[in-house]
Structures are given as structure tokens and as C-alpha cells.
Structure 1
Amino acid sequence: MQYFIGFVIALFIALTGVGAGTVTVPVLVLFLGVPAPVAVGIGLMFSTAVKLILVPAQIVRRNVSWRTLGFMLLGGAPGVLIGSLFLKHLVNAGSQNLLNALLGAILVSTASWQLVYSFRPMQQNSSAKDRSRLLPWLMLPVGAEVGFSSAGAGALGSAALLSLTPLAPAEVVGTDIAFGFVVSLVGSGAHWFSQASNPELLLHLIAGGVFGAVTGTMLTNRIPRRPLRFALWIWLLVLGGQFLFNSYQVWAAAR
């Protein structure tokens, strides 16, 4: 089961550019019973391992805009450290139910926004004005969200690139995957030293993820991204709602 989960998540990452932490954490918590802090750390480490396979392919295809990536990391790298420290504070305070509720709120808000964004007509960005100098300010909170929940790098990063840069769609995916790899690497390092981990589960996910990443890379030009992303956001909206409902039940029982 763990191998299959890793395969499916990595397949989605390769095909859509999103889904690493956003999918991994709720699946581990809701279906495998992994504590949220451990799931966040595993999500970041798994994302790093899978994107380590995907990034070279994007570089070879010249889909990474290095200048744009630099602007993104200027805000995203310190942001992920801030988010990791906030998560550590909640864990030390024993606020497990609050943590679950915040994770649910992040999933619901991200999925809802992306569903609305999905109905916008597809546009070519070549004539768009380059406002990439705004990216550090936007990627700071995105990085913080990644450090706290392991989610957001792919979804919010690609949305920012589409809105603020004239990059072609393939460059948006490649640059965003590279950004997700670096912030996941920074975040996984922070979580490795501050949170409990589950190396056996992580290795099982990575083993399945290797095959998923390779399969997705081979299919990326044959399968349209937009329908897959839409289905992904619907599913994550349901999972986020489940997080919020479970947290409400615990809160109501404690009153």
C-alpha cells in the first residue's frame, strides 16, 4: 500500500507539477494514521527525493528559468524555515488538534482557490509583463506554508509564475518543480533535526515514487495537465473538509 501511494503521488507530480506535500500529508494522516508533525516531515523528504529525479529532466529540456528561480528562492528559502519553527512551536505546546485544523484550512483554501483559478481561460504568457521582482514577497508566505504543512510550493508557485511572468507553460512547470525541490530540501533538513520521523515509511514511499516519477516523465507530453489538476483539487477539498470535521469533533467532545 505504501509503495502504491508513493507511485501515485510521484506520478501526479510529474504530470502536473503539483501534489507532493499537498497530497502526501493528508493521505498519511487520514489513511495511514501518521501523526501530523511526522507526516509533514515525511512529505517534505518525499518531495525532495521525487523532485531530485524530475529536476534534471526539466533542466535538460531547458524548462528552468534560473533568474526567476532565484527571485522565488529569495523569499521561499527563509519562509520555509519560519514555517518549520512555527510547526515546532505548536507541537511543543501540545496543540495537535489545532495543527490538524490548520492543515485542513490550508487544504480547503488552496483547493478552493485553485478550483476557481481552473475556470480561467488558458492564456499564453509570452506577451505578459515581467513582474518577477515581486516573487520574493509572495514566496515568503508560500515558503512558510511549505515549512508548516509541506503544501503549497507546486500549486501556489505555479499560480504566481503564471500571473507575474511571461514564461511558457513548460517553463512554469519546470521552474516550479525546481523551486519545490529546493524549499523541500531546506524544509526536510529543518524537520529532520526537530521532529520524529519514520524512515521505513519514507523509504517505502520513495521506492514507489521513483517508478511514478519515471512513468510520469515519459507520459508528460501525452496527457493533458488541466483535467488532472482539476480532479486533484476536488479530492483535496474533500480531504481538507475531513480534517476540519475531525478537528471539530475532537473540540466538541472536549467541551
Structure 2
Amino acid sequence: MELAIGFLIAFVIAITGVGAGTITAPLLILALHVPIAVSVGTALAYSTAVKAVVVPLQIWRRQIAWRVLGVMLIGGLPGVIVGTLLFKRFGALRGHAFFFGALGTVIVFSSAWHLFRYFRPQALPGRQPARIKSIGALMFPIAAEVGFSSSGAGALGSLALMSLSPLNAAQVVGTDLAFAFCVTLIGSGLHFADGSIDKGLLLRLVIGGLIGAVAGSIVAPRVPNRQLRLALSVVLLALGLQFCYQAVAKQLASHAVPVQAAKVQTKTLALAQVAGGRVR
């Protein structure tokens, strides 16, 4: 099953370019029932492995804007550290409702962004002067989200570059992939040091992913990429909404437990008082 999931994710990435982080963690949680703490760390490590194969190709094609990448990393590297530490904190507090909400929100935003690009490609911003300071500042929360949920670098990073820089589409993809590789490398390293990565699961995912990447690269020229991206975006939107629903349900359940406990305690005290009165 793990080999199939690794194959599927890499195959989809090779054809559509959709980020590994957006797909991997939800599949590990929903399909394999992997604990949240392990799924995020493993998804980050898997995303790093996939991008380690892709980024050298972007360097060879000269599609990375190194100056912009440097500015992105100035804001992004501290951000992913903060996000990872926040995840560890919320994990210790069993704040799963907050995690489901954060992950669902990122997936919904990412899929909505892809849908917007599908139906309104002419509405995308044109070439404009680079706003370097704004790009650096935005990378902090984006990278923090990557460290917290393993998702966000692809859609959010690309959106920031397209909105705030004059880079062409190829440079946006290459620069954002290089940024995501550096960020996920740091994040997965912190998770690895904490022991929250399933090494056996990761190995099987990577093996399947290497096969999927090769197969996807072969099939990609023959697949109607635009229609496939549309179908995948719709599926991801439904998945993100499901995570948001679970977040609300978990939050309501966490509030309901103390109320129910208080009612039981009150009822117990009342019964004790009645029993005490009868004894007298």
C-alpha cells in the first residue's frame, strides 16, 4: 500500500506539478491511519526526497532566480523552524483540531488557487517590479505553515512570486521548488531529530515515488494536463473541506466532554444528597 501511495503521489507530481506536501500528509492520515505527528514528519521527508530529484534539473535548465531565492530563505528558514516547534507544542497538547483546521485551510486555498488559474488564466498578474522585502516577509508565515502541516510551499510560494516579482512562469516554478526543497529539508531534519519519522514507511514511499516519477515523466506528454489538474484540484478541494469539517467536529467534541462531565458530576452529587437524606 505504501509503495502504491508513493508511486501515485510522484506520478501525479510529474504530470500536474501539484506539491507533494499537499497530497502526502492527508493520504497518510486518511488512507493509512498514520498518527498526525508521524505523518507530517514523514511527508516532509518524502517531499524532500522527491524535490532532490527535481531541483537539479531546474538548476541545469537555469530556471532558478538565485537572488530571489536567497531573500526567500532569509524569511523562510526561521519560519519553518518556528512552525515545526509550534507543531511539536500542539502535538504535545493533543491540539488535533487546530492541526486539522490548518491543514484543511491550506489544502482548500491551494486547490482554489489551481481552480482559479484554470478558469481565469487571463486574470493572473503580469510582469512587475520585484518587491524583495515583501517576498522575504511573506516567506516566514508560508514556511511556518510548511513546518506545521507539511503543506503550502507550492501554491503559496508560487502565488507570492507571481504577485510580487517579474519572474516568468518557468522561473517561478524553479525558484519555488528550490525554496521548498530547502525548507522541507530543514523541517524534516527537525522531525528526524525528534524521532517523529517512520523510516520504514518513508523508504517504501520513496521507492514507489522514484518509479512513479519515471512513469509520470514518460506519460506526461500524452496526458491532457489541464483537464487532469482540474480534476485533481476538485478532489483536493473536497479533501480540504473534509479536514475543516473534522476540525470543527473535534473542537465541538472537546468542548462537549467537560460539559458532559460536569453534568454527570452534578447528577452524582444530587443522588448522593438524596441518599444521605434517606439515611437520616
Shorter-chain TM-score above 0.5:
yes
What is the alpha-carbon distance in structure 2 between the residues aligned to residue 218 and residue 76 of structure 1? 33
* Corresponding residue for residue 176 of structure 1: 176
Asked whether 1:43 is paired with 2:43, we answer yes
Which deviations, in whole Å up to 9, do the C-alpha atoms of 1:65-105 show, x marking residues without a partner? 11111111111111111100110000111223332233223
Match of 2:79 in 1: 79
Q: Which moved more, 1:75-84 or 1:90-99?
A: 90-99
Alpha-carbon distance in 2 for matches of 1:216, 1:123: 29
| Deviates further, 183-192 or 110-119 | 110-119
Which stretches in structure 1 are left out of the alignment for 5+ residues?
none
| Partner residue in 1 for 2:158 | 158
1:200 is paired with a residue whose SS is helix
User: Partner amino acid for 1:245?
Assistant: Y
Partner of 1:14: 14
Helix, strand or coil at the partner of 1:32: coil
Aligned to 1:167: 167
Task: Say which one has the larger Rg.
Answer: 2
What is the CA distance between 1:127 and its match in structure 2?
Answer: 4.0
Aligned to 2:198: 198
TM-score by length of 1: 0.89
Letter in 2 for 1:199: K
Q: Secondary structure at the match of 1:62?
A: coil
| CA shift in 2, pair 1:162/1:217, >3 Å | farther
Count of equivalent residues: 255
Residue identity in the other structure for 2:94: G
Other-structure match for 2:90: 90
**Stretch deviating more after TM superposition (163-172 or 35-44):** 163-172
Letter in 2 for 1:184: T
- Separation in 2 of the partners of 1:97 and 1:123? 35
Moved more, 2-11 or 123-132: 123-132
2:103–2:151: 8 Å Cα contact kept in structure 1?
no
Between the aligned partners of 1:155 and 1:50, the Cα distance in structure 2 is 17
Q: Distance in 2 between matches of 1:133 and 1:218?
A: 40
1:108·1:236 contact (CA, 8 Å) conserved in 2?
A: yes
Structure 2: 5+ residue runs without aligned partners? 257-280
Question: C-alpha distance in 2, partners of 1:218/1:122?
Answer: 30
Native 8 Å contact 2:113 2:155 kept in 1: no
Q: CA offsets, 1:89-126, max 9 Å, x none?
A: 00111223332233223322333344335433248988
Q: 1:174 to 1:143 in 2, by over 3 A?
A: same
Shift in Å, 1:22: 0.7
Q: 1:124 to 1:240 in 2, by over 3 A?
A: closer
Specify whether residues 230 and 164 from structure 1 end up closer, same or farther in structure 2 by C-alpha distance, changes over 3 A only. Answer: farther
1:67 aligned partner = 67
Question: Residue type of the partner of 1:242?
Answer: Q
Task: Quickly say closer, same or farther: Cα 1:69–1:215, change in 2 above 3 A.
Answer: farther
CA contact (8 A) 1:37 1:195 kept: no
CA RMSD of aligned residues (A): 2.4
| Secondary structure of 2:121's aligned partner | coil
- When residues 187 and 198 of structure 1 are mapped into structure 2, their CA distance, relative to the original with a 3 A threshold, is same
Moved more, 122-131 or 146-155: 122-131
The residue that corresponds to 1:34 in the other structure is 34
TM superposition outliers: structure 1 runs of 4+ over 6 Å:
123-126
The answer as to whether partners of 2:117 and 2:124 remain within 8 angstroms in 1 is no
After alignment, is 121-130 or 240-249 more displaced?
121-130
| Residue in structure 2 matched with residue 53 of structure 1 by the alignment | 53
Q: Distance in 1 between matches of 2:250 and 2:168?
A: 46
> Matches of residues 97-246 of structure 1 in structure 2 within 5 Å?
97-122=97-122, 127-218=127-218, 226-246=226-246
Identity score, percent: 48
Counterpart of 2:273? none
Work out the CA distance in 2 between the residues paired with 1:127 and 1:103: 31
Query: What displacement does 1:142 show?
Result: 0.4
Deviation digits for residues 116-171 of structure 1 (CA, Å, limit 9, x no counterpart): 35433248988432223421111111000000000011111111111122222112
SS in 2 for 1:63: coil
